[in-house]
Structure 1
Amino acid sequence: MQRLTLHEDRFSGNAYKVRLTASLIDVKIHESIQYEISKGGTRTPDFLSKINANGRIPVLQVGSDKYLPESNAACYYLATGSRLIPSDPWKHAQVLQWMFFEQSFVEPTIGTLRYWFKRTGEDNFSQEQQVVSSSKRESAETALQVMDAHLATRDFFVDEEMTLADAVLYAYVHLAPEAGLDLARWANVHAWCRRISNHSGFVSMDYRESEET
């Protein structure tokens, strides 16, 4: 595989899922380039023209001139051909199903709430954030309930072993407490998080440096 560079903010769960996927299959990300989104780091003319016209990170750079935005696309690229993507077409499609679920129902709810709680602070919520946070919490709880019910009879989301679906879901789900959600309410999800964290190749999320900037 060509040299890999990850354009990211380590505070981001989307960036973490790319690093987690790479670690699980022992693929090296050679360089990490950090951006301060709040200071317009991803809105410069150079970034928009060269790295991602949508002005968002993470972006996985492959070699010197290939740029892949969207975290789940980056994870899928890395995991193609690995044990994280089943060869069976039905199981393969189920992996994609849960990846789509993550971007539709997990990242926009848990991810957004966590960002507001950690970067804005609940005491500083705008009136709009106060209103929207309630609906996002309800949606997040619904998503966690769906996941919890699915895990009632299995250890992982698709197969008997961990797949890419588990990796991408874990990224924001394990951060639910930082979004004001107590994972102990969803015992199966809580146990699943422990299984992921004990899996071979697991790497924890460390964003302390990002928090301080």
Structure 2
Amino acid sequence: MSSRLTIYGSFTSSSSYKPMLYLSLSRLPFSFRTVNLKKGVQNEPEHIARNRYGKVPVLQHEGLTIVNSNIILDYLARTTGHFEGANEQERWTAREWCAWEADAISNVAKVRHYSRFREVHPEVMAYFRPEAEAALTFIDKWLKGRQWLVGEQCTIADIACWGRMVFMAEGGLDINRWPNLLAWSERLKAMPGFALPYDLIPKKDQEFDPV
């Protein structure tokens, strides 16, 4: 039973990015194990044994195996105490945002996926793009006059939402259209330990041991 946090993920996966960004911002040591989605490693028996859904990321820690990026964020916040929220209400509100993100901001990921990795009928994109734009507009309006999504500090709500929308430009969604969203993203980028996905997620197994 290992006490070291181990993330199984993929270089191009926004879902993998979210817990890795959490750990990087928290300056916590962890191990990364790559799951090559292009080669179908996610469907091989060894990975299915870790994640019955054949997805990434997977977190293994102290004998536990946890899947789904936002559930992993919840676990990490409870276990390490970082980005939890200042009180009970903020902690629950942050988790509400995580649930909303999985429903709404996931449309941003779909637009990016259909733009870069998989060509779909224009009518499919015509459905998902307005949904993605509506989600981004909702957050932009919420952030007017606010620094963070919940309370006065960054929480797992911010990490969950940013972690999915970080690839928005690859779907042709220009963050400059949403000025409050843009300012919020700059605050995130200014935090010690912040890194963009292609700078943070390696293409092969790696140990992360922040000084």
CA shift at 1:2, angstroms? 1.1
Q: Given the two structures, how large is their TM-score scaled by the length of structure 1?
A: 0.87
Give the 3 Å change call, closer, same or farther, for CA 186–203 of structure 1 in structure 2: same
Residue 33 of structure 1 aligns with which residue? 33
Residue 60 of structure 1 aligns with which residue? 59
Give the 3 Å change call, closer, same or farther, for CA 92–184 of structure 1 in structure 2: same
* Higher relative helix content: 1
Q: Given the two structures, how large is their TM-score scaled by the length of structure 2?
A: 0.88
1:143 is the counterpart of 2:148? no
Q: CA RMSD in A?
A: 1.8
In 1, the alpha carbon distance for the partners of 2:82 and 2:35 equals 32
5+ residue gaps, structure 1, are none
Show the 5 A alignment for 1:15-54.
Answer: 15-29=16-30, 31-48=31-48, 50-54=49-53
In 2, the alpha carbon distance for the partners of 1:83 and 1:19 equals 13
In 2, the alpha carbon distance for the partners of 1:83 and 1:209 equals 23
Residue 10 of structure 2 aligns with which residue? 9
Show the 5 A alignment for 1:75-154.
Answer: 75-80=73-78, 81-107=80-106, 109-120=107-118, 125-127=119-121, 130-154=122-146
In 2, the alpha carbon distance for the partners of 1:172 and 1:34 equals 19
In 2, the alpha carbon distance for the partners of 1:51 and 1:10 equals 18
In 2, the alpha carbon distance for the partners of 1:78 and 1:209 equals 21
Give the 3 Å change call, closer, same or farther, for CA 180–156 of structure 1 in structure 2: same
CA shift at 1:87, angstroms? 4.4
**Percent pairwise identity:** 26
Once the two structures are superposed, what CA deviation does each residue of 1:132-164 show, in whole Å capped at 9, x if it has no partner?
111111001110111011000101000111111
In 1, the alpha carbon distance for the partners of 2:166 and 2:55 equals 23
Show the 5 A alignment for 1:187-202.
Answer: 187-202=179-194
Once the two structures are superposed, what CA deviation does each residue of 1:73-109 show, in whole Å capped at 9, x if it has no partner?
11121122524112422111110111111111002x1
In 1, the alpha carbon distance for the partners of 2:95 and 2:58 equals 20
Structure with larger RCO (C-alpha < 8 A, sep 6+): 2
Stretches of 4+ aligned residues off by more than 3 angstroms:
207-210
